[in-house]
Amino acid sequence: MALNKELLDILACPKCKGELELTAAEDGLICNACKLVYPVREEIPVMLIDEAVPLATWKADKGTA
C-alpha cells in the first residue's frame, strides 16, 4: 500500500519547510533543497532531521544514479 496522496501533499521538510518528493521505490521522501532523504518505515514517514540520510548516501546505498 502506497503513502496517502493527501498526506504527501501536506508534508514538508522539517529542516527547510521545502517540498518533498517520494522516491521511486516509495521508501523515502526527498528534499532536493537540503539534499536529504527522510526514510519511510512500514508506510510511516520518519520526519526527524536526525534520521534523515544525505541524498548522495541514499543513492549509493540503493545503487541508483
pTM of the model: 0.89
Are residues 26 and 39 in contact, defined by beta-carbon separation less than 8 angstroms?
no
What pLDDT sits at residue 6? 87
- The answer, yes or no, to whether residue 1 has pLDDT greater than 80, is no
Q: Residue written as cell 523515502?
A: 28
Position 55: which residue type? L
The total of structural domains in the chain comes to: 1
The residue range of the domain holding 18 is 5-62
Is it the case that residue 64 has pLDDT exceeding 80? no
Q: Binning pLDDT at 50, 70 and 90, where does residue 65 land? A: low
- End-to-end CA distance of the chain: give it in Å, rounded: 26
Instruction: Write down the residue that cell numbers 527522510 correspond to.
Output: 38
What does the pLDDT look like over 10-63, one tens digit per residue? 999 999 999 999 999 999 999 999 999 999 999 899 999 999 999 999 999 987
Give the three cell numbers for residue 42: 512500514
CATH of the domain at 49: 2.20.25.10
